[in-house]
Structure 1
Amino acid sequence: MRHSLKLFLQTDYVTRFSFSIVYALLASVALNFFYEPGNIYASGATGVAQIISTLFQQFLQVDFPIAWGLLLINLPLFILGWFKISRRFTIFTGITVVFTSIFMELIPTEVLTTDPIICAIFGGVLNGAGMGYAFKNGLSSGGLDFITIYIRKKTGREVGSLSIIFNGMIMVAAGILFGWQYALYSALAIFVSGKVIDVVYTKQKKMQVMIITRRPEVVIAALQKRLQRGITIINNAQGAYTKENETVLFTIVTRYEMPLLREAMNKSDGKAFVSIAENVQILGNFYEEEL
């Protein structure tokens, strides 16, 4: 019992647990303050749950809570996460989904505006920020996120862009069932949410770093201490102006790791020349931290 408590209270686990609550709050506010008043369908499993809830209300005159639909949809997808992504990731995602369902029920629907464009934009920003921070801390909102993360691990494509593709199918279903105006405004919300995810979730942004230094051993030691990245060394490079021999180092990092890179360079060789190319495409193996 003490060992389990000690394990849970580790900094990493506490951070993940706190961001589960943050995401659940943001997603619930987005749903109850913007999506529902504006008749906007959310992305992922929440959007599917909204469609199911609407079907029950319109055709069966039964009030089926979105929160219950969210839980039921996620149950089979937890199997994919458990065996194909990470068991720890799946457990914390389960916690996140439970918190989200609870907050969806506890937070009352508040009509700030019924303008569908405003609801789509602000709901998309809140939802995307919550999902991006969840991904950044090794969590997920569940549902289609399991599928998009699994495909990202296999193909390297950006999560937000994959989410737009999958959620487009949800919008088509919403348009056919309930009217195309709802589908179009919901598509705007999904687009905004996906772009915010790509801005916040910086772990997926890969950057090529070229370092020209006269202290290669010290720089390499500092980089390897802080980053789990391979480094290519080009010896005996010569500066055209100084004619002095220097060493060129090449490595690939994520945007999320940039503070660690700066720290390593400041500690090892503050006078080194560092060039960074953003959003490079990688072919072959590239280590990514387990979720």
Structure 2
Amino acid sequence: MNWLFKFFPHPDYAAKFSFAVVYALLASVSVRLFYGPGKIYSSGITGIAQILSTLSNRLIGFEVPVSLMLLLLNLPLFFLGWHKIGHKFTFFTGITVVLTSVFMQVIPSEVLSKDPVICAIFGGATMGAGIGYALKNGLSSGGLDFISIAVRKKTGKSIGSISIFFNFLIMIAAGILFGWQSALYSALAIFVCGKVTDAVFTKQKKMQVTIITRFPDEVVHTIQDHIRRGITIIHEAEGAYRHDKQTVLITVVTRYELPLLRQAMRESDPKAFVSIADNVQILGRFYEEQL
């Protein structure tokens, strides 16, 4: 998509637009090829749009397209994103939502399988991959993602786990309105979607790193050249076997930053002992790039 760079004032904008296109395609494929044929309701605002679209046929005699309902439901939530998350993030999320609505209209509904289990698993995985990919690249699929990110900033909970909590209400509504079998298959799709979102959106997962080194100044300088992270230094540590003096460095990085940390250690002290604890919980300030 190099031709996109000609139409945007900054190369990063063209890249984000291409990310938005990828998400919109994945989300539309999930809804049109899996959720629709399997009578499964998606997670987030897309699921609410599906429910309202189905209800509209009962209430007013014709079905309002899911694509139009999705666009209308997202409009008030853009205000939350604009004020609580970030202007650029919200702007490109708006582009993402519009593209998704368009693709949902353009992509034909094909029946690949009517087995609700297959539709739930593959639909949820496709949707989760799209949401995780969008978030990883500084975008959002809109809707409940705005709420989930705002809650994550306050509580530290993962995006996927927060989404599963919110989407539980969608599952209950689907069960009451359209039958509990549909709700249970929708729950499977929502669960798969949440787990795939967490697997793809690795930026939010925090890891504690303990480094034992003889060259603390070089290690600290190199790490901070690669990553914007604070480092705690403990001097005069002693090895139990040789009783030699070393320095312990402690920091916290995201899983997304782990390759940069490895590169920094190779450059500064490849013989250092490095211990990494996965999925740590953080209390206090932890720098995250603005979306």
TM > 0.5 fold call: yes
Structure 2 distance, partners of 1:57, 1:68, is 14
What secondary structure, in the 3-state scheme, does the structure 2 residue paired with 1:37 have? helix
Of the structure 1 ranges 13-22 and 118-127, higher mean CA displacement relative to structure 2 is found in 13-22
The answer for the alignment partner of 1:155 in structure 2 is: 155
Shift of 1:141: 0.3
C-alpha change, 1:117 and 1:95, in structure 2 (3 Å) is same
Matches within 5 A, 1:118-129: 118-129=118-129
Matches within 5 A, 1:82-97: 82-97=82-97
Matches within 5 A, 1:87-126: 87-126=87-126
The answer for the alignment partner of 2:191 in structure 1 is: 191
Structure 2 distance, partners of 1:7, 1:233, is 48
Structure 2 distance, partners of 1:7, 1:52, is 37
The answer for the alignment partner of 1:266 in structure 2 is: 266
Shift of 1:180: 1.1
Does residue 88 of structure 2 align to residue 65 of structure 1? no
Q: Read off the aligned partner of 1:151 and give its amino acid letter.
A: V
Question: Aligned Cα RMSD in Å?
Answer: 1.3
Of the structure 1 ranges 67-76 and 5-14, higher mean CA displacement relative to structure 2 is found in 5-14
The answer for the alignment partner of 1:200 in structure 2 is: 200
Does residue 59 of structure 2 align to residue 75 of structure 1? no
**For residues 33-70 of structure 1, what are the alpha-carbon distances to aligned partners after superposition, in whole Å with 9 as ceiling and x for unaligned?**
00000000001111111111101112322121100000
Matches within 5 A, 1:46-57: 46-57=46-57
Q: Read off the aligned partner of 1:103 and give its amino acid letter.
A: F
Q: TM-score, normalised by structure 2?
A: 0.96
Of the structure 1 ranges 37-46 and 239-248, higher mean CA displacement relative to structure 2 is found in 239-248
Structure 1 distance, partners of 2:8, 2:224, is 29
Of the structure 1 ranges 159-168 and 233-242, higher mean CA displacement relative to structure 2 is found in 233-242
Matches within 5 A, 1:20-35: 20-35=20-35
What secondary structure, in the 3-state scheme, does the structure 2 residue paired with 1:229 have? coil
The answer for the alignment partner of 2:40 in structure 1 is: 40
Which runs of no fewer than 5 residues in structure 1 stay unpaired?
none
Structure 2 distance, partners of 1:192, 1:248, is 40
C-alpha change, 1:230 and 1:73, in structure 2 (3 Å) is same
Structure 2 distance, partners of 1:213, 1:10, is 41
Matches within 5 A, 1:145-184: 145-184=145-184
Structure 2 distance, partners of 1:37, 1:175, is 17
Contact 1:15/1:137 (8 A) holds in 2 = no
Shift of 1:9: 5.2
Structure 2 distance, partners of 1:218, 1:147, is 41
Q: Read off the aligned partner of 2:155 and give its amino acid letter.
A: T
Does residue 17 of structure 2 align to residue 17 of structure 1? yes
The answer for the alignment partner of 1:236 in structure 2 is: 236
Structure 2 distance, partners of 1:10, 1:273, is 41
Q: TM-score, normalised by structure 1?
A: 0.96
The answer for the alignment partner of 2:251 in structure 1 is: 251
Shift of 1:234: 0.4
Shift of 1:7: 9.9
Which runs of no fewer than 5 residues in structure 2 stay unpaired?
none
C-alpha change, 1:267 and 1:83, in structure 2 (3 Å) is same
Structure 1 distance, partners of 2:37, 2:205, is 35
Q: Read off the aligned partner of 1:134 and give its amino acid letter.
A: A
Does residue 132 of structure 2 align to residue 132 of structure 1? yes
Q: Read off the aligned partner of 1:201 and give its amino acid letter.
A: F
Structure 2 distance, partners of 1:113, 1:48, is 23
C-alpha change, 1:223 and 1:11, in structure 2 (3 Å) is farther
Shift of 1:14: 2.7
Structure 2 distance, partners of 1:199, 1:283, is 23
Structure 2 distance, partners of 1:102, 1:202, is 29
Q: Read off the aligned partner of 1:289 and give its amino acid letter.
A: E
**For residues 92-112 of structure 1, what are the alpha-carbon distances to aligned partners after superposition, in whole Å with 9 as ceiling and x for unaligned?**
100100110010000000001
Structure 1 distance, partners of 2:18, 2:72, is 24
What secondary structure, in the 3-state scheme, does the structure 2 residue paired with 1:253 have? strand
Q: Read off the aligned partner of 1:266 and give its amino acid letter.
A: R
